[in-house]
Chains A and B, each alone.
Chain A
Amino acid sequence: MTVKLTNQKAWFLVAPVVVLVAFNAVIPLMTVVNYSVQESFGNNIFFWEGVKWFEEVLHSERFAASLMRQIFFTSVILLIEIPFGVAIALSMPRKGPWVSVCLVLMALPLLIPWNVVGAMWNIFSLPDIGLLGKALNSLGIGYDYTQEPISAWFTVILMDVWHWTSLVVLLAFAGLSSIPEAYYHAAKIDGASPWAIVRYIELPKMKRVLIIAFLLRFMDSFMIYTEPFVLTGGGPGNATTFLSIDLVKVALGQFDLGPAGAISLIYFLIILLTCWLFYTLTMKDEAQ
């Protein structure tokens, strides 16, 4: 790492970014803060409410339920996608023409618009005319994601694994391809077992990109909206109503601006704090 010069004029270089992002981030965020402490009766008439909405949201069973669903969903997909993605990256070819083929095919789900992903899985899992639904039903498993909460959960999780495991694969693969050939030679001379190579060379070298993969997957799965909305609409009942779906219902559906503002802020804070905690803890570990 080269030493950086101290130069306050560098602010001119970052100014355009700061202006654009501030316009997009600060004004809307202040609007949300405004809503969260006021009561509105339409026509832009507002009354000061203090922390009433925050208390209401924190005590509401509805918010607790969708938060629990969100935490459960995020934990399950992280537990599946990270090990699965690493395993695939480890067994992928390292060089040759197949690398490009694998990368291009695997990256494909990442570039499909999210509602198309939802629609695609909707068609794919329909119990009567979808490949997955038909196959499961003909195996004698009673599967119908529009009626059965368990089926709905199974489909939403499988869809997310389908959609995002490739991101973990790409990141892990990038980490692996940065390992110098010499490391493998040294391991060979020492007579290391294949598992020892994975455990002591490949996993430590992938640590950095895996932290990034974990963070990205955590944030994005915690914000998930479009795919489950298109697939199940949050149903059956409220079975797959995650935080974002619930929030959009409150904000744009019922136009309850106060509670929506309070939910928004609590929601954003949870993501920020988790990312910050995870990042500080893993980096501290690295420094030791």
Chain B
Amino acid sequence: MTRRYKWLLPAFYIVFLMLPIYWLLNMSFKTTNEILGSFTLWPKNFTLENYTTIFTDPTWYNGYIDSLTYVGINTAISVTVALPAAYAFSRYRFLGDKHLFFWLLTNRMAPPAVFALPFLQLYSEVGLFDTHIAVALAHALFNIPLAVWILEGFMSGVPKELDETAYVDGYSFWRFFIKIFIPAIIAGIGVAAFFCFMFSWVELLLAKTLTSVEAKPIAAVMTRTASTSGYELGLLAAAGSLTIIPGAFVIYFVRNYIAKGFALGRV
């Protein structure tokens, strides 16, 4: 391929990516009659009715609040506990460190389908079933190893002299860690938080299994609607379109860190 036409491949790829998203948006602005009655490339009778339904019906908008709540809790927990652990892995050698690191990573390889049923029993047993914290903790299974992995990569990029100088200056470990070290790897924290957000936001199997009413994720609300009320495709499309927004926001904020984070963080 010559240099001049090089841009064509990414351009076509992006068009290919946008087509299904466009179709979803297109459907969300149509009435049910138009969807089922005819094939139109853009909405002929433009309507916001589907969106109005979602924003006025608590079973719908609570789904979004529930999802964002457990995703938020999960991201906070995962990054907080991963920070000191990643520091330990990047700076010290200790008994069983390599095995421990590998064991953590194997949890990223565990199929959620394997854990769905035992999780249901475990969280029912400890009385956390149908709470946000249950889903947040369950998602920590694969997000903590990921966060440790990313943060460890970033921390290894920070020269050890930074730590040594601070200790010589009389900083205690925690004061150094919070005042100096965390600001030095803030980009890495951003990337780790991005990935925790992403994998918790998109996962459904565990989130659905661990909730029934109180903490039901939006994705599960959609599944229920699709199956019980027949063919409300417009409503489904509108709900789906709305789930793209939080992700788009997050990407926009971390856009400059993504590529760098991948390279440094050895994801």
The reply on B69 being an interface residue by CB < 8 A is: no
Interface residues as binary, A230-261 with B (CB distance below 8 Å gives 1, 0 otherwise)? 10000000000001110110011000010010
Determine the chain A residues whose CB is within 8 A of the CB of B170 once the complex forms.
none
**Shortest distance from the beta carbon of A36 to any chain B beta carbon, whole Å:** 11
Determine the chain A residues whose CB is within 8 A of the CB of B220 once the complex forms.
115
**Shortest distance from the beta carbon of A90 to any chain B beta carbon, whole Å:** 8
Determine the chain A residues whose CB is within 8 A of the CB of B159 once the complex forms.
2
Determine the chain B residues whose CB is within 8 A of the CB of A21 once the complex forms.
104, 107, 140-141, 144-145
Interface residues as binary, A122-134 with B (CB distance below 8 Å gives 1, 0 otherwise)? 0110001111101
Task: Give the bracket for the number of chain A residues in contact with chain B.
Answer: 35 or more
- Asked whether A174 lies within 8 Å of B262 as measured between CB atoms, the reply is yes
- Asked whether B117 lies within 8 Å of A260 as measured between CB atoms, the reply is yes
Q: B233's closest neighbor in chain A, by CB?
A: A123
The reply on B54 being an interface residue by CB < 8 A is: no
**Shortest distance from the beta carbon of B112 to any chain A beta carbon, whole Å:** 7
- Asked whether A120 lies within 8 Å of B202 as measured between CB atoms, the reply is no
- Asked whether A112 lies within 8 Å of B114 as measured between CB atoms, the reply is no
The reply on B186 being an interface residue by CB < 8 A is: no
Determine the chain A residues whose CB is within 8 A of the CB of B233 once the complex forms.
123
Determine the chain A residues whose CB is within 8 A of the CB of B185 once the complex forms.
none
The reply on B196 being an interface residue by CB < 8 A is: no
Q: Give the CA-CA distance A21 to B204 in the complex, in Å.
A: 20
Interface residue SS majority, chain A? helix
The reply on A282 being an interface residue by CB < 8 A is: no
The reply on A271 being an interface residue by CB < 8 A is: yes
- Asked whether B236 lies within 8 Å of A131 as measured between CB atoms, the reply is no
Name which of B110, B111, B250 has the most chain A CB atoms within 10 A of its CB: B111
Determine the chain B residues whose CB is within 8 A of the CB of A257 once the complex forms.
117
Interchain CB contact (< 8 A) of A103 among B6, B219, B259, B266: B259
Task: Give the bracket for the number of chain B residues in contact with chain A.
Answer: 35 or more
The reply on A104 being an interface residue by CB < 8 A is: yes
Q: Give the CA-CA distance A104 to B247 in the complex, in Å.
A: 10
Q: Give the CA-CA distance A115 to B160 in the complex, in Å.
A: 44
**Shortest distance from the beta carbon of A261 to any chain B beta carbon, whole Å:** 9
The reply on B180 being an interface residue by CB < 8 A is: no
The reply on B192 being an interface residue by CB < 8 A is: no
**Shortest distance from the beta carbon of A16 to any chain B beta carbon, whole Å:** 4
Determine the chain B residues whose CB is within 8 A of the CB of A222 once the complex forms.
111
- Asked whether A170 lies within 8 Å of B19 as measured between CB atoms, the reply is no
The reply on B263 being an interface residue by CB < 8 A is: yes
Name which of A8, A105, A130 has the most chain B CB atoms within 10 A of its CB: A105
Can you list 7 A-B contacts with CB-CB less than 8 angstroms, sorted by A residue number?
A14-B100, A16-B84, A17-B81, A88-B10, A109-B17, A111-B244, A268-B111
B interface residues with partner A (beta carbon < 8 Å): 1, 3, 6-10, 13-14, 16-21, 23-24, 27, 35-36, 39, 41, 77, 81-82, 84-85, 87-89, 91-95, 97, 100, 104, 106-119, 121-122, 137-138, 140-141, 144-145, 148, 156, 159-160, 198, 201-205, 209, 218-220, 222-223, 226, 233, 236-237, 240, 243-244, 246-248, 250-252, 255-256, 258-263, 266-267
The 10 A-B residue pairs with the shortest CB-CB distance, nearest first, are A111-B247, A28-B118, A174-B262, A13-B88, A244-B113, A10-B92, A10-B88, A174-B263, A223-B111, A31-B118
